[in-house]
Structure 1
């Protein structure tokens, strides 16, 4: 069984339909896929870009427009957009003061936005990031992943949108956004799972009389189910938990959000109970929002978000907005019609060509060696595909083998058209492979290729690989935040870079030993942190896969 009313390209078709239904507000760019606001306040100097997995509508595309976002970038259902989409959307809407990314704290979103930011910075575009992490259900000390980004994203986008229209600079907006995030907390509960996008069945089953307390907006189950309390008791429990953890003092913004299938009648009941609970606690509610704004497809449930408001934030929250989905606002902006300009519909970025192998004989010889490494790496991945898939299913979603194999197949096609191996692998993974692992491997190949192209006359190949691996590892750490010991590919790259200084054989040995050693590590980054304990005793799939690259290099260079 499947969902009955979807086209063959549901996300692309939905976004095209959304723009067609809002022609005076929204424009869509189809390749790569993103949407932009048609109008922009002339005082705005910084473009605001947000995005994430589809299925959360109206987040984010519904908040495009004056007073909120300039661009929204959709991924597949519950999956991060690709860094290529984010990069193109950011270039399309960057103002003279740069571009600000508003990112929910989910691993794929964080990494792909960070890779896009690296690319923008290299092109001279000023960029900053606000990371939204408000979900108290994932506030654990034993992982580095941190709180998920959920309902507070709407609060951040509204306040920053109004502040951007007031002319605040990139640094001012980034600081304001971080302050709003710090003073916001949320928690969510569900009485029924969302419909599985592929099968049409409920994504998980709940025992009768139970609730999932602490669900995520990607449809993640909570750490545990609870027996369903009475309505008043449930709302009191949620309000008390969030209130205890939201820092600061002063008035509150109360946001009651539906997760897709909860009626407005029910949400207003929740709002009334939550407001009463806060009043009895001596808290003043100075701002409010009720409705389905951050869905988890059609999950039956709701979230409660509290934000401690600084006095200067309230005018931003109440300021006007012209968007498809957000309430228009209470205050008068004083903006004359001429203060709003119509933005051009962005064209797709011109396709970029890969650098081909040079005509210099020495360069050609080095290129052939690198090409042979990529080809051997592809062979090793094919040989180990089933095992890589099995390892990823233990502690992830099982797609790593497919992503790695698909990226290398694309790289081989590019090489057949005359492009050098490492540059082909860089483009294939950085621009063509989704999820988290693909863009990270793209960064590794980018720096390996850079080291190869800048190899000095006195450098041997192993020294160039050592430098490229170290620089690639540093870039991956910048965008993903992983450290050695977190059970990621960093646990292979760091020792491999050091060992390569003694030659390819040592590099391959160190990489293999490091990959095997991840079996004893506890995941502190990535999706594996959400399945606590699963995968113990088995190597990390990403670590095992990247170790094959160094095995390939050693075999070719032997």
Structure 2
């Protein structure tokens, strides 16, 4: 392995280390995990909360403290934080005028932050959001997901932090955030992919003498591969592409030269020098050239450039004082003298010690997911970051523990996936299990198929409301929708094997995603590269209906494909 990371509690250990390195500035809540600034400007009336997958440091956590963010929610490596982290961090950070959530435009982040926002609104806490979508490489009308959120997040958080310290209200902060994002664009290039923590190999291969142009911060391939040209020519191409995408008529920019993890300070400063001269030659005044590693992609060898067309009043926000771990130009850090790590014990499942109401479906699903785990990981590595197999298996393991403590099997799945599983798939599967948990489940008698179909349809509607996915977008919906229809039809016809019919429809729906171009989720960023690879999330749904058929219709379930062979590529 090339990383020096503890095998257990990796992100928690790093969070605790950051707090220890910044005495008196940060406290760490361990369950759920979030970091909170111990103090803030007394003028501030709105809490600022951000977060995202780990591996991008010092993004988010580096700007935690007075003049910056009030709370940060770190997910696992390259996986979004789950909505419970965001909800509880936001509730803790909210001030008299509420809380502003800063969201990078990745499907998992968007869904989890929006679910947290709904929970906050339900509690009566004023909440608004700012969506960061600065990545020029994904500026395409073909993918419904939209542009990714990358290194402009650093600029946004610094400016918003200073504005919040002036006593700005929630709507004023949201409006400023939207304006900053609209006037910012970023573009990244890489000479070597990041090393996968799972395989210890590069996430993708590049031929010698080539670069990937337009890479993402999770290791997504670039929009095209180009010749490894001299840095002056490369920076000129990137600069021209960025300036073309930004609003015309602006002559002052803030320029961030961001390392992606393995790019040295020597290189970044040299690139900054080249960039300064290029901007000046084009009649543009760089208010500041800011080199450094601010939004990493683990140890990717590459860099990004972010240009923000600055309004005159924003300069004072950039240079306003702050007390955060990351020291940006014109800022001074005044460390305090005491460290505090606040740890809360994990709560036990409801009904601990009671006999679980049902467990057959959960046990069967756990066995099937275990069979398919490696294949699901391999599929996700081809189109995403390879976390789906781990997320699905980890969620099921958590549900098994809850079930052992007395929670009904399907309800245990709902609680585990909604509260404890991050990434894109975790909360979406949580919505599915949440509606299925409204059905009366038994280990020895099949539930009413019509009731299960109604519950599945309710979850399908909820998933569409949250993420916007529909049939044909190459997501879990492509398996869930036909399974729901088949189950409802079989129930209406009085079929004696409705769950087998639903499983067959889900399997066919999952297999059909191999011919689709993804329009939602992280796979949408690789576009045509994903064709031929079935969506891993759709297989997760197909395996669930396979488990239902296996429990309640063992005679007809024998005609369903073996889970391991089904998910093999």
SS at match of 1:118: helix
SS at match of 1:327: coil
Pick closer, same or farther for the CA change 1:555–1:226 going to 2, 3 Å: closer
In the alignment, does 2:477 pair up with 1:481?
no
SS at match of 2:437: helix
In the alignment, does 2:435 pair up with 1:447?
yes
Pick closer, same or farther for the CA change 1:8–1:501 going to 2, 3 Å: closer
Kept in 1, the 8 Å contact 2:103–2:109? The answer is yes
Pick closer, same or farther for the CA change 1:109–1:281 going to 2, 3 Å: same
1:532 aligned partner: 527
Q: How does 1:9-24 map to 2 (within 5 A)?
A: 9-24=9-24
Mapped partners of 1:533, 1:476: distance in 2: 25
2:327 aligned partner: 326
2:517 aligned partner: 522
Count of aligned pairs: 536
**More displaced 10-residue stretch of structure 1: 436-445 or 202-211:** 202-211
Instruction: Spell out, residue by residue over 1:124-163, the C-alpha distance to the aligned partner (whole angstroms, 9 max, x if none).
Output: 3333322211111222332223222111010111111112
Please report how far the alpha carbon of residue 68 of structure 1 lies from its aligned counterpart in structure 2 after TM superposition.
Answer: 0.9
1:156 aligned partner: 156
Please report how far the alpha carbon of residue 26 of structure 1 lies from its aligned counterpart in structure 2 after TM superposition.
Answer: 1.5
2:418 aligned partner: 430
Please report how far the alpha carbon of residue 432 of structure 1 lies from its aligned counterpart in structure 2 after TM superposition.
Answer: 3.3
1:456 aligned partner: none
SS at match of 1:279: helix
Please report how far the alpha carbon of residue 9 of structure 1 lies from its aligned counterpart in structure 2 after TM superposition.
Answer: 4.3
SS at match of 1:322: coil
Please report how far the alpha carbon of residue 391 of structure 1 lies from its aligned counterpart in structure 2 after TM superposition.
Answer: 4.7
SS at match of 1:39: coil
Pick closer, same or farther for the CA change 1:132–1:23 going to 2, 3 Å: same
Please report how far the alpha carbon of residue 101 of structure 1 lies from its aligned counterpart in structure 2 after TM superposition.
Answer: 1.7
2:300 aligned partner: 299
1:314 aligned partner: 315
Mapped partners of 1:143, 1:496: distance in 2: 25
Pick closer, same or farther for the CA change 1:264–1:516 going to 2, 3 Å: closer
Mapped partners of 2:386, 2:331: distance in 1: 48
Pick closer, same or farther for the CA change 1:391–1:26 going to 2, 3 Å: closer
Please report how far the alpha carbon of residue 429 of structure 1 lies from its aligned counterpart in structure 2 after TM superposition.
Answer: 1.8
Pick closer, same or farther for the CA change 1:374–1:140 going to 2, 3 Å: same
Normalised by the length of structure 2, the TM-score is: 0.83
Pick closer, same or farther for the CA change 1:214–1:388 going to 2, 3 Å: closer
Q: How does 1:145-544 map to 2 (within 5 A)?
A: 145-197=145-197, 206-250=206-250, 251-327=252-328, 329=330, 348=344, 351=347, 353-354=349-350, 368=358, 371-382=359-370, 388=376, 391-392=379-380, 394-450=382-438, 461-502=448-489, 503=491, 504-505=498-499, 507-508=502-503, 510-534=505-529, 536-537=531-532, 539-544=534-539
Pick closer, same or farther for the CA change 1:400–1:323 going to 2, 3 Å: closer
Mapped partners of 1:428, 1:56: distance in 2: 26
Please report how far the alpha carbon of residue 292 of structure 1 lies from its aligned counterpart in structure 2 after TM superposition.
Answer: 2.3
Kept in 1, the 8 Å contact 2:257–2:268? The answer is yes
Mapped partners of 2:206, 2:360: distance in 1: 52
Kept in 2, the 8 Å contact 1:87–1:116? The answer is yes
1:457 aligned partner: none
Instruction: Spell out, residue by residue over 1:297-356, the C-alpha distance to the aligned partner (whole angstroms, 9 max, x if none).
Output: 34343221111223333332232211111337479xxxxx9xxxx999766387264368
Unaligned runs of 5+ in 1: 332-336, 454-459
Please report how far the alpha carbon of residue 6 of structure 1 lies from its aligned counterpart in structure 2 after TM superposition.
Answer: 5.5
1:88 aligned partner: 88
Pick closer, same or farther for the CA change 1:79–1:450 going to 2, 3 Å: same
Instruction: Spell out, residue by residue over 1:82-116, the C-alpha distance to the aligned partner (whole angstroms, 9 max, x if none).
Output: 33332332222122322222122233323332333
Instruction: Spell out, residue by residue over 1:442-483, the C-alpha distance to the aligned partner (whole angstroms, 9 max, x if none).
Output: 121112224669xxxxxx934433332233223322332322
1:112 aligned partner: 112
Pick closer, same or farther for the CA change 1:194–1:380 going to 2, 3 Å: closer
**More displaced 10-residue stretch of structure 1: 11-20 or 395-404:** 395-404
Mapped partners of 1:271, 1:414: distance in 2: 53
Mapped partners of 1:296, 1:138: distance in 2: 17
Mapped partners of 1:53, 1:389: distance in 2: 18
Kept in 2, the 8 Å contact 1:131–1:178? The answer is yes
SS at match of 1:45: coil
Please report how far the alpha carbon of residue 20 of structure 1 lies from its aligned counterpart in structure 2 after TM superposition.
Answer: 0.9
Pick closer, same or farther for the CA change 1:72–1:29 going to 2, 3 Å: same
Q: Considering only aligned residues, what root-mean-square deviation do their CA atoms show, in Å?
A: 3.5
Pick closer, same or farther for the CA change 1:310–1:4 going to 2, 3 Å: closer
Please report how far the alpha carbon of residue 509 of structure 1 lies from its aligned counterpart in structure 2 after TM superposition.
Answer: 5.3
Mapped partners of 1:5, 1:97: distance in 2: 39
Unaligned runs of 5+ in 2: 442-446, 492-497, 554-569
Please report how far the alpha carbon of residue 119 of structure 1 lies from its aligned counterpart in structure 2 after TM superposition.
Answer: 3.3
Please report how far the alpha carbon of residue 210 of structure 1 lies from its aligned counterpart in structure 2 after TM superposition.
Answer: 3.2
Pick closer, same or farther for the CA change 1:151–1:351 going to 2, 3 Å: same
Please report how far the alpha carbon of residue 537 of structure 1 lies from its aligned counterpart in structure 2 after TM superposition.
Answer: 4.6
**More displaced 10-residue stretch of structure 1: 431-440 or 202-211:** 202-211
Instruction: Spell out, residue by residue over 1:344-373, the C-alpha distance to the aligned partner (whole angstroms, 9 max, x if none).
Output: 9766387264368999xxxx9xx65xx544
